[in-house]
Amino acid sequence: MRWIRVLHLGTGNDALWAALTGEFRLTVAQHYLISIGRENDDEHAARLSAPASEENGFRYMVDRQCQAWRDEHLPLVHTGAVVAARPVGAYLEMVTVAGQSKAEFRFLVRHSAAGHSGSETSVAAVGHKLPVPGWPPTQWPIPHLLLPS
């Protein structure tokens, strides 16, 4: 998947960000606004969650989030990762990236036109829980994907 390749290259934060679903981008923006004391600012959150924005704080937020994903997952991607995807719901797949060690990371991919060739995909979540926008944003665990901690 292209998202993994861009993560692996260590560049292309704009491409990583734009590949997220709107709900995922919105929850990241809401978490960011809470962290800087701007809770309940729906208009600012909407502007920050755009695929691209000139909004104050946008570049810092996107760069910080993308770096956090790289810090957590890049060592695994660099160690000869194997990628596997399986359907977990309507228009939704769980992608698992497993390295040579037993470590792995998972993310959810949403298809805009499942079953059709050339369907567009977006990253719906990193992990096995779907983001739910709000103040504060939360996550909805997909019951059959609950993993032991």
- pLDDT, residue 97, reads 83
Instruction: Classify 19 as helix, strand or coil.
Output: coil
Q: Do 32 and 57 touch, CB atoms closer than 8 A? A: yes
pLDDT-based confidence at residue 51 (cuts at 50, 70, 90): very high
Question: Does the residue 90 lie in any domain?
Answer: yes
Question: Does the residue 92 lie in any domain?
Answer: yes
The residue type at 9 = L
**Number of domains the chain contains:** 1
Question: Does the residue 7 lie in any domain?
Answer: yes
Is the predicted pLDDT of residue 32 greater than 90, yes or no?
yes
pLDDT tens, residue by residue, 61-119:
999 999 998 888 776 665 556 678 889 888 899 988 876 666 778 889 998 864 545 56
Question: Does the residue 146 lie in any domain?
Answer: no
- Tokens 């590949």 belong to 19
pTM for the predicted model, two decimal places: 0.87
Question: Does the residue 115 lie in any domain?
Answer: yes
Question: Does the residue 45 lie in any domain?
Answer: yes
The residue range of the domain holding 27 is: 2-140
User: What is the distance between the terminal CA atoms of the chain, rounded to a whole angstrom?
Assistant: 26
- Tokens 């698992």 belong to 96
